[in-house]
Structure 1
Amino acid sequence: MIKAKNLLDPPKILVIGFGILILIGSYLLTLPISTESGHGLSFLDALFTATSATCVTGLVVVDTGSTFSTFGELVILTLIQIGGLGFMSFATFFFFLLGKKISLKGRLLLQESLNNLSMAGVVRLVRRLLIFTAIIEGIGALILSIRFSFDMPIGKAIYYGVFHSISNFNNAGFDLMGEFRSLTPYVSDPFITLTVVFLITFGGIGFIVMNELYEYRDTHRLSVHTKIVLTTSLILTIAGAILIFLFEFGNVKTLQPLSLMGKTLSSLFQSVSPRTAGSNTLNIPDLTQPTLLLIIFLMFVGASPGSTGGGIKTTTLATLVGTVWSQIKGKGDVVLFRHRIVSETIFKALSVTFIGVFMVSSISILLAITESGSDFLMILFEATSAFATVGLSMGLTPELSPVGRMLIIFTMFAGRVGPLTLAFAIAMRRKPDQFRRPKGKIMIG
C-alpha cells in the first residue's frame, strides 16, 4: 500500500508526465509529415529533439529551420510551450475552461511544478502565469514580426515572430534561421537583440517574482526571495556583459569588427542568453577561452526558481555566497536582506550544487570516452549546456555518437525536472529520524 502511494507523489508524477510528453513528441517527429524530406526523423534524433524541446534546452542534432516542415516546427513549438510552463499549468488551464475546481492533489502538483514555497494561492498564481505568458509572448511576437517583415513576406514574418517569441520566453533557444546560425545575422540589430533579451529575462526570473512585481503597486513590498532573484540576476547580467566586452573586444572573429553599439548589444545578449535561453548573436566556437569559461559558469548558475530556465538557480548561488561570507566574518547565521536564511535552505543549496557538479563532471567524463576525438572544453561546454537546459553549443551536438546523444538526452531531462526532484522521485519516502546521533567534530580546510 505504501509503494502504491509513493507512485503518486508529486515529484514522481512530474517526472512521468514529462517522460510521456517527450515520447508523444518523439513519435510525432518520426512521422513523414514532420520533415521537409517526407521521411521523418530516426527515433533517436526524434527523441533527442523532443527532449530538447520539452526540457526547453535548444540543443539540436539537425537544423530546425531546414529539416522540419511546418507541422514538425509546430510540434516542437507546442512541446516548448508545454515544457516551459509545465504540463500541470496547461492541465489547470483546461480545468479553468471547463469550469472545474482544482483538487487538493492537483494543487500539490502545481506547487511542486512551480517550485512554490506554499500551496496557498497556487491556483490564482497559475491563472496569472497564463495571463503573463500570453501578454509577454504577444508583445515579443508583435515586435519581432514587425522587424522580420523588413526581411521576408509578412506571413512568414508573423510566423517567425511568434515562433521566436515563444522559444525565447520559454528559454528554449530553438530558431528557424537555418544552417545552425541562431540570431547571428542580427548581431547589431537593437530591435531583435533587446526584444529577445526582454523575453529571456522575464522568462528566467520566475513567475513568483513576476507576480510580486505585479502586486507591488498594492503591497509596496517585495519578499526576500524576489529581492535575491532580482539583485543576483542584475549583478550576473551586468558583470557578465562587461567581462564579455573586455574579453572579446580585440577578437577579430567576434566583437572587433562591430561598432560600439554592436559590441555593447552582443555583449549584453551573450551575458543574458546563457541563463538559460540558448540563442546567440556571436558564433560560439569563435569566442575566446575566458569567455567560454565565463559562459559555462553563467550556464551552470542558470535562471531563477519557478521559471522556464534551468541551472542550479540564482537563489542557490546567492545562498552559497552568503554562507561563505558569513563564515569569513565569523557569524553564526547567514543573513541576506536582513533576513536569516534557515539551515534547511542552505543544505538544499549545497545539495543542488553538489548534484549539479557531480552530474556535469560525470557526463563530461563519459562524453570524453564516447567522443574521444573532441576537445574537453567543448565537451564540458556541451554537458553544462545540457544540464542547465541552455542550448548553447560549440558545434559538438550534431557530431555526437549515438551513445553520446543518449547521455545528453538523460542530462537534459534530469536538468529540467531538477536534480533533487529526480532524486526524490526514484527514492523511498524520507522518514524523520527517531533519534539523533552524538556530535562528531572534524577538521575542515
Structure 2
Amino acid sequence: MKKYFLSPISPPQILTAGFIVIILIGSILLSLPYATEDGIRTPFIDAFFTATTAACVTGLVVVDTGTHYSVFGETVILMLMQVGGLGFMTMATLFALAFRKKISLRERLWLQESMSHTSLEGIVRFIRRVLIYAFTIELAGALLLAIRWSAVMPFDQALYYGVFHSVSLFTNAGLDIMGPLHGPFNSFTNHVEDPVINIVLMLLIFLGGIGFIVLAEIIDFPKIRKLSLHSKVVLSTSGLLFLGGAVLLFIFEFTNTLEPLSLPGKLYSSLFQSISPRSGGANTLNIAEMRNASQFLLIILMFIGASPGSAGGGIKVTTFAILIGAVIAMIRGKEDVVFFKRRLAKDRVHKALTITAVSIATIVLFTMILSATEKTDFLTVMFEVTSAFGTTGLSMGLTPNLSDFGKLMIILVMFIGRMGPLTLAYTLVPHQSKELYRYPEGKITIG
C-alpha cells in the first residue's frame, strides 16, 4: 500500500487532476459577480457546469453564454476552451518553451499521453508545431469571421466575435455568444444561408477535429508525399461519415427544416449539421424541430465523434473504422483486419471493442438515470447524454431545464467523455501487472 502511494504519478492521473483543477478555478471565476452582465452571482452549480463544458470543450449550456456573461466571464470561458482544447500540458509547454525551461522525461510522457502520440521521440518538437498550427488556424478563422461580421457591426466588436468563435469551433467547443444579436440559445441559425460563415465554421470544425497528428501530415504532404496508415484511415472514414451524414440529413429534412431554404441553403445546412456532431457543437438548424430519424442519426455521429489526438470526444473515427473492419473480416472468414494493405495488431481490435462497450454502457447508464429524474421523453435524454459524452454540445433543449441533480450527471458525463473512459480507468487502476500464466483454453457457443 505504501509503495502504491509513493509511486510516481502516471500520465492519466496528472491529466485527470489537471482538468479537475482547471474546471474548479474556472467555476470560481465564473461564479463572481463581475462575470455576469447584471452583476448578480451565478449559482455555483451553473458556474461549475459552464466551466466544465468549456474546459471539456463540449458546448452544452444551462445559461446563454452571450446574454448571461460579461466580457470578463466570456474571456474566462475563452481561456478555458483554449486550455481545454489544446490540453493544459500543451499550454504549460508553451510557457516552458517561452522561458527556455528544459522539459523533463516525465513531462514528455505526460505530453505523449495528452496528445495520443505514438512515440516519445520528437514530442516537444511536435508540440511546438501543434501550437503554431493551432494559433495560425485560429487567427485566420478569426480574421475571416471578423471581416464578414464587420458588415453588420463595428470592427472591434466583429474581431471580438471572430476570435471567440474561431477558438470555440477549432477546439470543437461549440459555445457561442450570438445571443445579444439573435436571441438566447439560437447558435448560428440566423446564418443558415450565409456561405462565408458556413464554410469558415465547417473548416474550423474539420481542422480541429481530425487531430494534430493528421494535420501535421497534411501540411507536410507536399514535401514527403506520404501519409501514415492512421491518417489514411482518419481522412477516409471522416470523409465517408461527413458525406453520408449530409446525404441522409438532406433526404430526412428536405420537407421539414430544410423546406423554407434555398437549394444552396439546403446544401450548407445538410453539410453543417453532418460535420458538427463530430464534436463541433454549433448548429444552423433547430435540432428540436428535426425529425426523429435525423435526431437519431445525429446521436450516431456524436457517438462516433472526432479523431484521436484532437479535442473532440466520442469513441473516435479510428475505433469505428476498426469495428467495421473487424465485422467485415469476420463475415468474409478472414482472421486479420486489414486497411490499405496493412494488418492491424489484435490488441488494437480488442481496445476498440473495449472502448465501444464501455462507452455504450456509460451512455445507457446515464440515460436511464436521467430518464428517471428529468421530465422529458427518452430520445431527448439520450440525445443530451450522447452529446455530453461525445463532447459535442448539440441540444434538443433539455440542458437549460435540467434539475440540479441532472446538471451534476451531465457534468460527470462531459468529464468522462473528454478524458475518455479508459484514461479514467487507468487513473484509478494505474498499475497493470503482466500475467505470469495462462489458463487452459475453453469454448463458448456464440450466435
Q: TM-score range by the shorter chain?
A: over 0.9
1:46-445 matches, within 5 Å, as 46-178=47-179, 179-251=184-256, 254-371=257-374, 373-445=375-447
Aligned partners of 2:336 and 2:343 also within 8 Å:
yes
Question: Conserved in 2, the CA contact under 8 Å of 1:35 and 1:68?
Answer: yes
With 185-194 and 207-216 compared, the bigger mean Cα shift is at: 207-216
User: Residue 120 and residue 415 in structure 1: after superposition, are their counterparts in 2 closer, same or farther (change >3 A)?
Assistant: same
CA deviations on 1:78-107 (whole Å, 9 max, x unpaired) are: 000000000000010011101112110010
Distance 1:50 1:7, change over 3 A: farther
In the alignment, is the contact (CA less than 8 A) between 1:77 and 1:163 conserved in 2?
yes
How much does 1:5 deviate?
4.5
Q: Which runs of 5+ in 1 are unaligned?
A: none
Post-superposition Cα deviations, 1:216-272, rounded to whole Å, max 9, x if no partner, equal 223221110000000000000000001000000011xx1001000000000000000
Matched letter for residue 439 of structure 1: E
Measure, in 1, the Cα distance between the counterparts of 2:228 and 2:209.
18
Residues 356, 419 of structure 1: 8 Å contact kept: yes
Q: Do the aligned residues in 1 keep the contact of 2:209 with 2:310 (CA within 8 Å)?
A: yes
Tell me the alpha carbon deviations over residues 169-210 of structure 1, each in whole angstroms, 9 at most, x when there is no partner: 000010011110000000000000000000000000000001
Shift of 1:443: 1.1
Classify 1:378/1:7 alpha carbon distance in 2 versus 1 (closer, same or farther; 3 Å): farther
Residue 227 to residue 266, structure 1, CA distance change in 2 (3 Å): same
Cα distance in 2 for partners of 1:76, 1:428 equals 32
Q: Is the 8 A contact 1:275 1:298 kept in 2?
A: yes
SS in 1 for 2:187: coil
CA-CA distance at 1:147 after TM superposition: 0.8
Query: How many angstroms apart in 2 are the aligned matches of 1:188 and 1:31?
Result: 38
Mapping 1:25-44, distance limit 5 Å: 25-44=26-45
How big is the shift at 1:7? Answer: 5.8
CA distance in 1: counterparts of 2:87 and 2:47, whole angstroms:
21
1:45 aligns with 2:46: yes
Q: 1:50 to 1:105 in 2, by over 3 A?
A: same
Opposite residue 227 of structure 2, the aligned amino acid is L
Residue 150 of structure 1 deviates from its aligned partner by: 1.2
CA contact (8 A) 1:7 1:13 kept: no
Aligned counterpart, 1:24: 25
What TM-score comes out, normalization by structure 2 length?
Answer: 0.98
Which letter maps to 2:316? K
C-alpha change, 1:390 and 1:38, in structure 2 (3 Å) is: same
In structure 2, how many angstroms separate the alpha carbons of the residues matched to 1:274 and 1:218? 33
Distance in 2 of aligned mates of 1:186 and 1:206: 27
Q: Name the SS for the 2:277 alignment partner.
A: coil
What residue identity is the alignment partner of 1:55?
C
Q: Which amino acid aligns with 2:278?
A: R
Q: Contact (CA 8 Å) 2:307, 2:316: kept in 1 or not?
A: yes
CA distance in 2, matches of 1:293, 1:151: 36
Letter of the 1:67 counterpart = H
Give how far 1:6 is off.
4.6
- State the TM-score, normalized to the length of structure 1: 0.98
Spell out structure 1 runs of 4+ moving beyond 2 A. Answer: 4-7
Q: Distance in 2 between matches of 1:30 and 1:97?
A: 32
Q: 1:117: how far off?
A: 1.2
How big is the shift at 1:2? 2.8
Distance 1:330 1:78 in 2: 51
- 2: distance between equivalents of 1:286 and 1:5? 55
For residue 4 of structure 1, report the CA deviation from its aligned partner: 2.6
**AA paired with 1:47?**
F
Preserved CA contact (<8 Å) 2:10 2:430: no
- Tell me the matched-pair count: 442
* Aligned mates of 1:169, 1:326 — CA distance in 2: 36
Partner Cα distance (1:215, 1:6) in 2: 40
Higher mean Cα deviation, 204-213 or 215-224? Answer: 215-224
3-state DSSP of counterpart to 1:208: helix
Q: Which amino acid letter does the alignment assign opposite residue 329 of structure 2?
A: S
Name whichever of 207-216 and 261-270 sits farther off: 207-216
Could you tell me how far 1:120 is from its partner in structure 2?
A: 1.2
For 2:7 and 2:212, the matched residues in 1 are separated by 28
In 1: Cα distance, 2:30 partner to 2:399 partner: 18
Distance 1:369 1:7 in 2: 41
Aligned AA (1:432): K
Give the Cα separation in 1 of the matches to 2:369 and 2:93.
40
Counterpart-to-counterpart distance in 1, 2:233 and 2:293: 27
* Mapped contact 2:57–2:84 kept (Cα < 8 A): yes
